[in-house]
Amino acid sequence: MPEGQTIIEQLEQIQQSALRALEMVQDEAALQEWRVAHLGRHSSVMQIFSHLSEVPKEERPRIGQRANQVKQALEAALEARAKQLKRLALERSLTSERLDVTLPGRQPVRGRLHPTTQTLRKIYSIFADMGFQIYRSRDVETDEYNFELLNIPAYHPARDMWDTFHTTRPGVILRTHTSPGQIHAMREFAPEPVRVILPGMCYRYEQISARSEIQFNQVEVLAVGRKITFSDMKGTLNDFARRMFGAQARTRLRPSYFPFTEPSAEMDVECFVCGGKGCQICKGSGWLEIMGCGMVHPIVLQNGGYDPRQYSGFAAGMGPERITLLLHRIEDIRYFWANDVRFLTQF
Ligand code: DAH
């Protein structure tokens, strides 16, 4: 201890310098260091305690008391500083990690109906208005229903129209069109009249390209009764076309061939892109093909359980993807299955 300084004065200095040092302390680690330096066993105050026996007897109580006061003052200051540091840390984290609850939230991405589903639903509602029920039949079919009962025997050249996915079970295939549903529906309803549409997925073993997919929807239309005529078919399909493509939509029937209808036709709608003048979409013809149709072949009626001498009917088949393609002028059918959200969110 420096000469010429009383112990009381030393204590005064110890307290002041310790308190000054405490002000510089900014974190928990520094606080612990300070505690060791100023209140630990080797600290200046503690040294004074341990050298108290060397002090003249009559001064001992005064110095002891003063040393105690200094020690207590330092302890109190330490505690206060600890609390203060905690509060500062809390304030700092509150300002730096502040959450602005008034910021607008992130919009979750909402799903929406696939364009084909939208077209399908429109088709359902138009036919529902005309009294047609929805009849669903299976995707996995037999050769018998998909072909034979529809008047397409094995080795018939018309089989070339449908490239087929076969399963490992002989005679079990994936339906190539929704027409086999006609037989299922007729067999269920005969001899009552039938008015149904048969929507569903169809499968064809084809090269995938901008114009054709191996998997696509079809909607089959079937009406069977006692006096159903070709004019009934024309009227029904015309009405459908106007509701689907607009009241001004003009249609035409072209002769065609399908084994399960006789006579057979294809329905075209006047190109709504160019108004019939001829453009890229209608390939210059002014017309867009929208479905195949015809009067149900007598053999098919019979296979369905109706006597063709008393009953007649019409059928049609259309592709919702194709209709969607035309309506939205989509150039590539592969978009429908690509699951690209950028494509899907446009509809
Ligand atoms: N099933 C035919 C196809 O996939 C479409 C079709 C044509 C269905 C004429 C019919 C019809 O009901 O009468 O190519």
107 in a domain, yes or no?
no
What residue type is 53 in one-letter code? S
Q: Is the pLDDT of residue 2 over 80?
A: no
Q: How confident is the model at residue 5 (pLDDT cuts 50, 70, 90)?
A: confident
91 in a domain, yes or no?
yes
pLDDT for position 277: 92
What residue type is 142 in one-letter code? T
Cβ of residue 266 lying under 6 Å from some atom of ligand 1: no
Could you tell me which residues are beta bridge partners of residue 222?
196, 315
Reported as a single tens digit per residue, the pLDDT across 20-50 is 999 999 988 999 999 999 999 999 999 998 8
Q: How confident is the model at residue 4 (pLDDT cuts 50, 70, 90)?
A: low
108 in a domain, yes or no?
no
Q: Strands 215-225 and 312-318: what pairing?
A: antiparallel
pLDDT for position 36: 94
Residues 81 and 124 in one domain: no
Reported as a single tens digit per residue, the pLDDT across 155-192 is 888 888 889 999 999 999 999 999 999 999 999 999 99
Boundaries of domain holding 29: 4-96
Residues 296 and 336 in one domain: yes
Distance (Å) from CA 156 to ligand 1 centroid? 16
42 in a domain, yes or no?
yes
Could you tell me which residues are beta bridge partners of residue 314?
223, 295
231 in a domain, yes or no?
yes
pLDDT for position 99: 84
Nearest CA owner, ligand 1 atom 5:
317
What gap in Å lies between CA 289 and CA 283, rounded to an integer?
11
Cβ of residue 293 lying under 6 Å from some atom of ligand 1: yes
Mean pLDDT of the region 326-330: 89
Residues 154 and 65 in one domain: no
> Rounded to the nearest 10 degrees, how much is the dihedral formed by the CA atoms of 127, 133, 138, 139?
10
Residues 74 and 128 in one domain: no
What gap in Å lies between CA 241 and CA 267, rounded to an integer?
9
Nearest CA owner, ligand 1 atom 3:
177
Cβ of residue 317 lying under 6 Å from some atom of ligand 1: yes
Cβ of residue 67 lying under 6 Å from some atom of ligand 1: no
Nearest CA owner, ligand 1 atom 4:
177
Question: Which whole-number Å values give the CA distances from 61 to 66, 67, 144, 272, 285, in the listed order?
Answer: 9, 10, 118, 112, 120
Question: Which whole-number Å values give the CA distances from 189 to 73, 192, 195, 317, in the listed order?
Answer: 102, 5, 10, 20
Reported as a single tens digit per residue, the pLDDT across 80-101 is 999 999 999 899 888 888 888 8
Distance (Å) from CA 259 to ligand 1 centroid? 9
Cβ of residue 292 lying under 6 Å from some atom of ligand 1: yes
pLDDT for position 282: 87
331 in a domain, yes or no?
yes
Q: Is the pLDDT of residue 1 over 70?
A: no
Q: How confident is the model at residue 3 (pLDDT cuts 50, 70, 90)?
A: very low
Picking from 96, 125, 157, the residue at the C-terminal end of a domain is 96
Instruction: Write the CATH number for 226.
Output: 3.30.930.10
Number of domains in the chain: 2
Picking from 96, 131, 157, the residue at the C-terminal end of a domain is 96
Residues 30 and 179 in one domain: no
Distance (Å) from CA 292 to ligand 1 centroid? 5
Contact 52, 64 (CB under 8 A): yes
Ligand 1 pocket test, pick from 175, 176, 177 with the greatest ligand atom count within 8 Å of Cβ, gives 177
What gap in Å lies between CA 197 and CA 320, rounded to an integer?
13
Contact 304, 135 (CB under 8 A): no
Residues 338 and 192 in one domain: yes
pLDDT for position 119: 97
Nearest CA owner, ligand 1 atom 6:
317
Q: Is the pLDDT of residue 290 over 50?
A: yes
Nearest CA owner, ligand 1 atom 8:
317
333 in a domain, yes or no?
yes
Reported as a single tens digit per residue, the pLDDT across 216-256 is 999 999 999 999 999 999 999 999 999 999 999 999 999 99
